[in-house]
């Protein structure tokens, strides 16, 4: 993997760049749709590509449990298995071990947990997490880390950070010779000194990219933005900067302003399936009775397939009837919006007017539907 910064904003830390992989280039800043089990829920890889997706995220925890990473490897790797030829980033599975497993026990070796699917007892360690990702054949792997909960004491967060650093060293050793990029993950909860200590140690180990983990796990919006704004500019400038699991459209705008290059979040897909549709004038809840006879598209300025063809009234009808088409059309719109948002920010940074664009973004948002 190679990374190059292409342009920088003069009034903020925003920048554009390009990640080069064996399976194609990724223009940053970028949003990665989440394909948890090797599929972005309800839409096909061809549709993803037509929406402008350049890279997707898949989940190590879920894929190792079902269908199994060794099976995926025997079938030619994850790209072939899911029919997606462009780059894939796989997370380490750490977040899911702590949030989904029925039982988990943290040891120095790793985390022993009970599968939420079949109750089987397993171990996820730096070596096994990297081994699973090697079997999947992703372009970018993530180190195995401890996803720090919130709220958390300083003492626990400190111990967790030191464990994450030790696991990062083991992850790097396990990834040697894979030909896949490996990103380190900065932990430390809301404690500035722990975050910076973790980053310094990760830089000393040396990774292809650096991520900020354990945000949007219960802390306030103000705390999340404080961590992101303080830490993102400190991540190495010559490597991609990634904030994991974030977030709302406003979070993405502020993250880009802070210097972040990569984002992922289930929000556009999950919220779409739940009837929430994002627009530049704010979110729209298609369940509302106010849209029962509304002939307008979700957003008259949107170029997505859903907005070009269907009315709010029809989309509400599909949702109320629980038609499968509702999930597809809502997901198509929301992903188009998120990817278009990133494209607009890349263009604004390259043109040298990101701050003016940002002010316009918030002005449209405040104008409402």
Could you give the residue numbers annotated as active site?
Answer: 91, 264
Other Cβ atoms closer than 10 A to 285? 14
Tokens, residue 296: 């307008």
Q: Quickly list DSSP for 92-135.
A: -SHHHHHHT-SSEEE-SS-EEEE-TTT--EEEE-HHHHHHHHHH
Q: Compute the distance between CA of residue 106 and CA of residue 96 in angstroms, rounded to an integer.
A: 14
Sign of CA dihedral 74, 264, 9, 208: negative
DSSP E strands, 163-281 = 181-186, 209-212, 241-243, 262-264, 276-277
By three-state DSSP, how is residue 277 classified?
strand
Cis upstream peptide for 151 (omega within 30°): yes
User: What residues have CB less than 8 Å from 331, skipping those under 6 apart?
Assistant: 40, 41, 42, 43, 268, 269, 272, 273
Q: Are the beta carbons of 175 and 130 closer than 8 angstroms?
A: yes
Give phi and psi for 184, each to the nearest 5: -90, 155
Cis upstream peptide for 356 (omega within 30°): no
CA 13 to chain CA centroid, nearest Å: 20
Q: Are the beta carbons of 55 and 35 closer than 8 angstroms?
A: no
Q: Compute the distance between CA of residue 39 and CA of residue 23 in angstroms, rounded to an integer.
A: 18
197-230 burial: b if 16+ Cβ within 10 Å, else e: bbbebbbeeebbbbbbbbbbbebeeeebbebbbe
Place of tokens 């979070």: 251
Burial class (CB in 10 A: 0-12, 13-18, 19+), 294: middle
By three-state DSSP, how is residue 59 classified?
strand
């Amino acid at each position: 993997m190679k990374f190059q910064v292409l342009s920088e904003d003069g009034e903020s830390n925003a920048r554009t760049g390009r990640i080069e992989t064996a399976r194609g280039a990724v223009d940053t800043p970028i949003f990665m749709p989440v394909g948890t089990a090797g599929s972005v829920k309800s839409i096909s890889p061809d549709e993803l590509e037509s929406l402008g997706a350049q890279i997707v995220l898949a989940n190590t925890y879920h894929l190792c449990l079902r269908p199994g990473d060794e099976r995926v490897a025997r079938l030619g790797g994850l790209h072939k298995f899911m029919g997606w030829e462009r780059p894939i980033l796989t997370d380490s599975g750490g977040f899911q071990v702590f949030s989904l497993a029925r039982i988990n026990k943290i040891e120095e070796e790793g985390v022993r947990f009970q599968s939420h699917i079949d109750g089987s007892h397993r171990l996820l360690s730096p070596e096994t997490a990297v081994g699973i990702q090697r079997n999947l054949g992703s372009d970018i792997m993530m180190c195995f880390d401890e996803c720090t909960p919130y709220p958390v004491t300083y003492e626990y967060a400190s111990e967790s950070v030191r464990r994450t650093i030790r696991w990062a060293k083991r992850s790097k050793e396990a990834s040697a010779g894979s030909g896949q990029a490996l990103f380190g993950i900065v932990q430390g909860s809301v404690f500035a000194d722990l975050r910076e200590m973790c980053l310094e140690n990760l830089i000393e180990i040396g990774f292809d990219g650096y991520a900020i983990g354990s945000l949007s796990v219960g802390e306030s919006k103000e705390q999340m933005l404080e961590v992101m704004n303080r830490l993102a500019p400190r991540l190495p400038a010559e490597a991609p900067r990634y904030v994991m699991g974030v977030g709302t459209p406003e979070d993405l705008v502020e993250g880009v302003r802070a210097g972040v290059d990569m984002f992922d979040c289930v929000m556009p897909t999950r919220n779409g399936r739940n009837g929430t549709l994002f627009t530049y004038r704010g979110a729209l809840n298609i369940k509302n009775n106010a849209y029962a006879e509304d002939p307008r598209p979700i957003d008259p300025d949107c170029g997505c397939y859903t907005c070009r063809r269907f009315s709010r009234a029809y989309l509400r009808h599909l949702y109320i009837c629980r038609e499968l088409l509702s999930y597809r059309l809502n997901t198509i719109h929301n992903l188009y919006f998120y990817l278009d948002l990133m494209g607009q920010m890349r263009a604004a940074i390259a043109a040298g007017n990101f701050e003016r664009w940002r002010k316009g973004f918030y002005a449209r948002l405040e104008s409402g539907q």
